[in-house]
Amino acid sequence: MPDTPMTWPIALLHACLRVFGLLPLRFVHVVGAVVGHCAWALHGRSRNIAERNLALVLTQNSAQSRHALAKKTLIETGRSLTEVLAVWGGGAPRALRHVVDVRGRELFEAAAANGHGLIIAAPHLGCWELLNYWLAAQRPLAILYRAPRQRALEPLLRRVRGVPGVEQIRADGSGVRALFRRLTGGGMVGIRPDQQPRRGEGVYAPLFGVPASTMVLLPRLAERTGATVLFAFAERLERGAGYRLHFLPAPDGIADTDPHVACSALNRGVEQCVALAFTQYQWTYKRWPRSAVAPAVAQPAPTSAPAVRSAPDEG
């Protein structure tokens, strides 16, 4: 798809991103923490969603503990916002200098070399835009994206994500076919496994013990192409020290022909990632419907949801 020109307000925004991208990472995270503190103090939509989500999944924690964790998640959300602006503005070479560790690299290298295709399942956790840059620096990457509601922003997003090695594919019928072709040819694609599917395009499967509408696209791609699935994310380190990349194997059953089995495995993979950086997950995302309710009786955290165990009761 050819890029359309940016309007002058969007071009001005792009220029501001370029300036912001020159700032030190530690300062960027300080600004983000201030943004998060303000979001918490204003008691707006983001705080309400985060508190509701944590009340659903952390039934064994006290209200005081969930309150403290919700505040931490909003601070990390603020850091996520400012760091992605800096990553986009500074460009891939500058951003990649902040990658200080890669855990599970051997899994990535083995999967990339087996010739069967590779699906990177990257949840909304840590700095996912930096992960895209790192993957594209290793081998060609196709990423599936959904057009923004503000259509004027699409040229900007395509520009900042359009680094060498990245093919951006819109999430529509032709885009899905393009992913199949890429995988059957032994290529690599990146998908957000926790993206809310459109109505009628998902199945309900447990996520942190609560049923959530879950995409069937990724499991179907894995089942029909035989591609390897790895989960991955870029963990934000303290005090602007950089990022640690994580690659984890997909849980058994992710390519099962039964959609519920496959989607349950997909959500377990998300849970395993979140367990490693609990407050860096996008808990401000409306992942569960308003009708979702927490279990009537708090149960010990199941082994399939280690992220719940990783959030200590601070009450």
Between CA 23 and CA 17 the distance in angstroms is 10
Could you tell me which of 210, 183, 173, 276 has the C-alpha nearest to residue 58? 210
Which top CATH class is 12-310? Answer: alpha beta
User: Which of 170-184, 197-211, 288-302 comes out lowest in average pLDDT?
Assistant: 288-302
> 164 — phi, psi (to 5°)?
-55, 135
Between CA 21 and CA 129 the distance in angstroms is 14
- 249 has pLDDT over 80: yes
The pLDDT value recorded for residue 192 is 93
The pLDDT value recorded for residue 315 is 36
Between CA 241 and CA 4 the distance in angstroms is 37
Domain range list for the chain:
12-310
- 41 has pLDDT over 70: yes
- Confidence label for 212 from pLDDT (cuts 50, 70 and 90): very high
The pLDDT value recorded for residue 164 is 76
Coil, strand, or helix at residue 244? Answer: strand
Helix or strand run (H / E) with residue 99? strand 99-103
The pLDDT value recorded for residue 3 is 61
The pLDDT value recorded for residue 2 is 54
The pLDDT value recorded for residue 82 is 95
The pLDDT value recorded for residue 277 is 98
Distances (CA, A) of 233 to 195, 216, 228: 15, 21, 17
Give me the mean pLDDT over the 29-48 stretch.
Answer: 96
User: Which of 87-96, 112-121, 124-133, 172-181 comes out lowest in average pLDDT?
Assistant: 172-181
- 79 has pLDDT over 90: yes
The pLDDT value recorded for residue 294 is 60
Strands 202-207 and 166-170: unpaired
- 66 has pLDDT over 90: yes
- 295 has pLDDT over 60: no
Distances (CA, A) of 24 to 28, 92, 163: 6, 15, 21
- Confidence label for 148 from pLDDT (cuts 50, 70 and 90): low
User: Each residue of 125-163: b (16+ CB within 10 Å) or e?
Assistant: bbbbbbbbbbbbbeeebbbbbeeeeeeeebbbebbbbeb
- Confidence label for 8 from pLDDT (cuts 50, 70 and 90): low
